[in-house]
Each structure stands twice: as structure tokens, then as C-alpha cells.
Amino acid sequence: MLDITAKVIENRLLSEKGRIYSLTLDSPELSKDCLPGQFYEIKVGGLDSRFLLRRPFSVAFCDDKTVTIRYNVVGAGTEWMSGITPGQMLDVLGPLGRGWPVDKTKKTLLVGGSTGIFSVLGAASHLGDKSRAVLGFRSCDLVNSVEDFKAFGVPVSIITEDGSSGRKGLVTELVKEELDKNEYDTVFICGSTLMMKSVAELLKDYDVDCYVSIEERMACGVGACMGCVVKIKADNEQGWEYKRACAEGPVFNAAEVIW
Amino acid sequence: MENTKKVDMTVDIAGIRLKNPVMTSSGTCGYGRDYLDIWSPAELGAIMVKAVSIEPRNGNPPPRIAEIPSGVLNSIGLQNPGVRHFIETDLPWLKSIGATVIVNVVGYTADDYAACVELLDETDADMIELNISCPNVAGKPIGADAKATETLTNQIRNITKKPIIIKLSPNVTSITEIALAAEAGGADAVSLINCPMGMRININTRKPMLANITGGMSGPAVFPLALRMVWQTANAVNISVIGGGGIVKWEDAVEMMMAGADAVFIGAGLFYDPASPLKVIEGLEKYCCDNNLSNVNMITDSLITDR
Ligand SMILES: Cc1cc2nc3c(=O)[nH]c(=O)nc-3n(C[C@H](O)[C@H](O)[C@H](O)COP(=O)(O)OP(=O)(O)OC[C@H]3O[C@@H](n4cnc5c(N)ncnc54)[C@H](O)[C@@H]3O)c2cc1C
Ligand SMILES: Cc1cc2nc3c(=O)[nH]c(=O)nc-3n(C[C@H](O)[C@H](O)[C@H](O)COP(=O)(O)O)c2cc1C
């Protein structure tokens, strides 16, 4: 984990209506040990910011010199981020947490919903054509990053809730169709709790390993404050314990999560 | 810097000499391992570890965190692996690296506190901080009642010779009344503030932001409240005062010491700037140099109230 100030080299609008941005940092230090599924905590609001908490974002992809994250403007912190200009310096903590158990010998299905697609994009960048992605969005305004999955050699199917782009429906339908092909060893899912829960439920009928990335509200991001816990099965009297999304997660084995 | 005399950064708290007056507060720095890439507990005056109880606790359901302007609301609910686990694993490690360890203890009953302290008394933990002020567990905290505070402090005083710190709650009518009760019960120091209670609502779902509905506030939002309470308390008691609440920068620590704190703690400030403890230590030293103070403890109580 590094606590550094890094220079922004790009903060590009990907989807005007959806207000989705791609932010790239020039930092060989940050990109050095970063694994897909891990995340960074970014300080927002500038000097003497009224935002005490740093904002967590998954690594979308990195090369030896740069790190890219992608974000949707949803509140005051991400609103501030949308005004960042190249050359600006950002305080970044990371890489944090435990990422996806990427394994190129395994055929992996990547399942992403809304901003959850950025975490699985990280896995796509490592797995390439050993994986396939199914992505769900609310509407066509929010569809983004599809070309990036393809550039990593990953075939993509899209589904939208209102049918404005790709098929109409929920991502679970695409997951079921893919799994019925009996090709996959592993499934990685990141999206809303509702989506992850229903996909994990569906997967119980298939012989595949399934991992989910859980984005819980967090404070420290490093494991110190016990703020971002997730209920996980455990070998104790009550049968469960609270584990930290920022330290033991955000990626958990779906079979161990108590939804 | 060469011709400036070196500042003596040590302070005495409850009869124990600390390397410097900067601590990290209970619940924000775990058991000392999580920030190792940035600072070591051995660099601090002391580390106040996350509360331990006689039996492990699950804590409250998530979400446990919500942001507030210049602060954070939490409802952790004292999740911890139990005092025995701490004594077996974290404490020996903390002592082996040279940290001064303040163990934050919590219980449902006076007997719970006593059972924990009996176990800790056998160890080389440096001080015991009785957390009688957690806002996130059901029932009226002992720290809201002067008589109960004095009785508990006295009961624990009879169990251990280790310095006892009483962690005070700001959720009281008179902070000095409780601080004096702790002193009367035999405490060696008081630490304050724990979190004032607060609440947030998501207007779209009409649900509270925290699963536990209410939570404790920390961060710069509570700094003026903490400063006022530390000032009142330091003027009332003769024992050591450890002041904190909202400290992020070294300037905040100077203010807190001027108001009467003998040492300071940083909690939620770590979330904003994980390196803040080191920056505060450095800043205090520089402030002393710039103002010709040979010892950092000369800042304590240096407030001038005459206009
Ligand atoms: C491990 C992890 C990885 C993430 N990766 C991405 C990503 O790659 N791209 C992306 O667009 N978003 C991602 N998110 C969600 C992102 O952190 C939030 O959208 C962002 O913090 C919102 O900040 P805000 O100030 O704009 O919103 P506000 O609602 O004003 O924020 C208020 C507080 O709530 C927290 N918060 C709000 N929404 C969320 C959320 N969904 N999850 C967790 N905390 C939240 C904020 O961090 C802040 O502390 C991730 C979250 C986590 C936990
Ligand atoms: C996430 C979190 C957990 C906390 N846990 C404890 C605890 O276990 N015991 C305790 O005495 N205080 C606990 N506190 C209170 C802090 O130690 C401190 O008194 C308070 O947050 C005010 O200081 P600050 O504004 O510097 O954080 C906790 C605070 C936070 C934010």
C-alpha cells in the first residue's frame, strides 16, 4: 500500500448522459503491484476538503507507467472529480484489498452491472480471450467501456433494463444462457447487491466457482476501522462472522457470503 | 535547524514517559498493523488499540459508515476478537516492536470490565483505558452517570496498579462532573472526547444511512466541541488529560494542547490523511523550535484568556 500524490494525465468523459469518466494517473509506483479487483482510495475536494473520507475506485486497468480508474458521477465527491484537469495532483492510497483470483488456465465468465463493470474490466485486462463478459446497464446512456473489453480480446454481450441498447432484460438471463453452454470454470461478478445475490443464487445449480466483489460503505480502506463489513460463513458457533470488504475483500467467494 | 536546540518531545502521562504527545485513538487504528506501510506504532507516543471485551463481539450490521460534512458517522458497535485473542497475538507483537500500548476496554457490566482488566494486569500492556462512553451499544453508558463512573473506576483501581484512563463521553450535560468522578474514583488520566451521537437519512429511500439508525460523529466537525470540553476538563481536574476529537493537522494538536491537553489523539483524521500522526509530531516539534519552547509540554495550558 502506497500513500502518494500522483499526477492526472487524463480525465475523459466516456458517456455524456451517463456522466461516466475515465481517469488516468501517471504513476509507475501505483501500477507496479496492482492486481485486478483491487482498489484505490482517492482524496476528493482539494486542500482542506470538507470530504473527510476518501472515495474507493476499482482499478480498471494499468500498464507499467499508468493506472486507470473509471467512475460514474453520483454525488458531491465524484462531481468534484469530474472537474479534474490533466496535470492536477491527486492524493491516492493503494492498491488496497484482495482482488480477483485470475487464472489463465480457467475459462472465466465476467459479469458486470453498472459501475461494477470497471472491476471486472480489470480481470478482463489480465484474462483476455480466456474470458467472456456479460454486462448489464439500466439504459443505453450508461453503456460504456465495451470497446475496452474487446480490445483485451474479450467478447462482450450487453443487456439493458429498458432495451435501449442490446437485449432488453436483466443480466441474470445472459449468465444463465452462457452457463448452459457448460464452458466455464469460474464466474466473477461485480454489480448491485441485488444483482450479485440473484446471480450467486442461480449459480448454485452449476458446477462453477463464483466470486463477487462487494462494494460496502467504507472509511479507512486499510482494515483498521471495521466499517465496511460483510457477513461471511465461518467455522464458529454462530456459523458466521463479519469480515472487512477493504481487507479480506472486496472479492469474496460467493459460496461464503450470507446475503 | 543546526543552531536550534533540539526540542524535548517527551511527555509524562499518568506517570509514564512517552516519546511524544501524539497517539492514535481507539477504533481508528485497529491493533496497530493496518498502517504499517505508512507509520509504525513505535513512532507514536502511544497507540490506543481498538476496544477489547471479555468475549468476542460481532458489532452492528452494515452499513456502519456515513459521511457528514467534515466528518464521519460510525456505528461499528465494538466488533472485536476478545481480550484473550489480543493478549495472545497483538499485544506481544506491539511490545516487541517497542510501542507504548494503551488498551481500550469495554464491557456490558462492571464485572465484564473487571474480568478484562484482571487478564490485562498480568501482561506488559502499559495503560488501560476504560471505554465507558461508546454511543453505539444499547443502554445508558456508565459514562453518562457520575456515580456509576466513580464506582467503576474505583472497582478497577482495586484490581490493577497499571495507570487507568477513563474515556469520557461528550453526550452528557456536564463533562467536568464526570471527569471529577473519574478522578475521585482513582483514575490517573481522562481521555476525551468519544463520539457525540448523530444521524443521517437517505431521502430517496427514506431510510437511515446507518443500519443502527444512530451513530457517533468524528472528524473536524467535532473539533470545536472537543476543544471546549478538553478546556473545561483540564481546568477542573488535576490528573493527565488526553485530548482529541477532529484533529487532522498539527495546528489542531497545538490548539488542543493550549486548551490543556497533556497529549493528543488522532482518530478519524487517519481516514483523511493516513500519515497525519507523523506530520503532527513533526509540526509540533517545528512549532516548539519556532517559538523557543524547549519542551513540547510547554504548549499545554499556554492559553491566554485575557483580552
Ligand atoms: C471497493 C470499491 C470499489 C469501487 N469501484 C468503483 C468504480 O470503479 N467506479 C465507480 O464509479 N464507483 C466505484 N465504487 C463506488 C464509489 O466509491 C462511489 O460511487 C463514490 O464513493 C461516490 O462518492 P460521491 O462523493 O460522489 O457520492 P456520495 O453519495 O456523496 O458519497 C457519500 C459517501 O458515501 C460513499 N459511497 C457512495 N456511494 C457508494 C458506493 N456505491 N459504494 C461505496 N461507498 C459509497 C462515498 O465514498 C462517501 O463516503 C466503488 C466502491 C467500493 C467500495
Ligand atoms: C470507526 C471508529 C471506531 C471507534 N471505536 C472506538 C472504540 O472501540 N473505543 C473507543 O473508546 N472509541 C472509539 N472511537 C472513538 C474515537 O476513538 C475518538 O474518540 C472519536 O472518534 C473522536 O476523535 P476523532 O474525531 O479524532 O476521530 C471510534 C471512532 C471511529 C471513527
DSSP-derived secondary structure letter, A211: E
**CA-to-CA distance for A230 and A217, rounded, in angstroms?**
10
What does pTM read for this prediction? Answer: 0.96
pLDDT per residue as tens digits for the range B22-79: 999 999 999 999 999 999 999 999 999 999 999 999 999 999 999 999 999 999 999 9
Radius of gyration for chain B, computed over Cα atoms and rounded to the nearest angstrom: 18
CB of B132 within 8 A of CB of B141?
A: yes
C-alpha cell at B300: 499545554
**CA-to-CA distance for B253 and B277, rounded, in angstroms?**
10
Please list every residue in chain B whose beta carbon sits closer than 8 Å to the beta carbon of residue A79.
none
**CA-to-CA distance for B33 and B37, rounded, in angstroms?**
9
What values do phi and psi take at B148, rounded to 5? -65, -35
pLDDT per residue as tens digits for the range A138-170: 999 999 999 999 999 999 999 999 999 989 999
Transcribe B7-66 into DSSP letters: PB--EEETTEEESSSEEE-TTSSTTS-TTTTT--GGGSSEEEEEEE-SS-B--PPSP-EE
CB of A116 within 8 A of CB of A137?
A: no
CB atoms within 10 A of CB A3: 17
Instruction: Answer whether residue A33 shows pLDDT above 70.
Output: yes
**Which among B243, B238, B208, B178 is positioned nearest to B45, based on CA atoms?**
B243
Is residue B159 packed enough to be buried (19+ CB in 10 Å), middle (13-18) or exposed (0-12)? middle
Q: Is A47 on the interface with B (CB under 8 A)?
A: no
DSSP-derived secondary structure letter, A54: P
The pLDDT mean for chain B works out to 96
Instruction: Answer whether residue B2 shows pLDDT above 60.
Output: no
What per-residue confidence (pLDDT) applies to A16?
Answer: 83
User: Ligand 2: residues within 6 Å at CB?
Assistant: A 219, 225, 227; B 25-28, 50-51, 72, 74, 76, 78, 104, 131, 167, 193-195, 218-219, 222, 244-247, 266-269
What per-residue confidence (pLDDT) applies to B141?
Answer: 82
Dihedral class, residue A152 (left if φ above 0, else alpha if ψ from -120 to 50, else beta): alpha
Superfamily designation of domain B11-60+75-197+217-299: Aldolase class I (3.20.20.70)
Range B244-249 average pLDDT: 98
Task: Output the CA B79–ligand 1 centroid distance in Å.
Answer: 24
pLDDT per residue as tens digits for the range B174-223: 999 999 999 999 999 999 999 999 999 999 999 999 999 999 999 999 99
Query: Which residue pairs from A170-177 have beta carbons closer than 8 angstroms and sit at least 24 positions apart in sequence?
Result: A170/A136, A170/A195, A170/A198, A171/A111, A171/A112, A171/A113, A171/A134, A171/A135, A171/A136, A171/A195, A171/A199, A172/A198, A172/A199, A172/A202, A174/A134, A174/A136, A175/A109, A175/A111, A175/A134, A175/A199, A175/A202, A175/A203, A176/A202
What per-residue confidence (pLDDT) applies to B196?
Answer: 96
**What's the fold here for domain A2-96?**
Elongation Factor Tu (Ef-tu); domain 3 (2.40.30)
Cα separations (Å) of B51 from A133, A148, B9, B74, B183?
Answer: 44, 46, 27, 15, 22
pLDDT per residue as tens digits for the range A207-245: 999 999 999 999 999 999 999 999 999 999 999 999 999
A225/B271 touch (CB, cutoff 8 Å), yes or no: yes
Closest ligand to C-alpha of residue B137 is: 2
Task: Give Cα B66 distance to the centre of its chain.
Answer: 21
Please list every residue in chain B whose beta carbon sits closer than 8 Å to the beta carbon of residue A216.
62-63
| Single-letter amino acid, residue A166 | G
What per-residue confidence (pLDDT) applies to A231?
Answer: 98
**CA-to-CA distance for A4 and A94, rounded, in angstroms?**
9
Among A52, A218, A227, whose Cβ lies nearest the Cβ of B219?
A: A52
**Which among B228, B229, B226 is positioned nearest to B247, based on CA atoms?**
B226
**CA-to-CA distance for B79 and A55, rounded, in angstroms?**
24
**CA-to-CA distance for B178 and B149, rounded, in angstroms?**
7
What whole-number percentage of chain B has pLDDT above 90?
93
C-alpha cell at A229: 463489513
DSSP-derived secondary structure letter, A141: G
User: Could you state, in order of their start, the residue ranges of all structural domains in chain A?
Assistant: 2-96, 100-213, 214-259
Closest ligand to C-alpha of residue B103 is: 2
Q: Report B:180-239 residues touching A (Cβ under 8 A).
A: 219-221
Range A85-113 average pLDDT: 97
- Nearest Cα residue to atom 29 of ligand 1: A75
Strands (DSSP E) contained in B142-295 are: 164-167, 189-192, 197-199, 201-202, 207-208, 214-218, 240-244, 263-266
Is A38 in a helix, a strand, or coil? coil
CB of B266 within 8 A of CB of B25?
A: yes
CB of B283 within 8 A of CB of B22?
A: no
Query: Catalytic residue positions of B?
Result: 134
Domain A214-259 -> CATH class: mainly beta
CATH (residue range A100-213): 3.40.50.80
C-alpha cell at B307: 483580552
Radius of gyration for chain A, computed over Cα atoms and rounded to the nearest angstrom: 18
What per-residue confidence (pLDDT) applies to B1?
Answer: 47
Task: Output the CA B76–ligand 2 centroid distance in Å.
Answer: 10
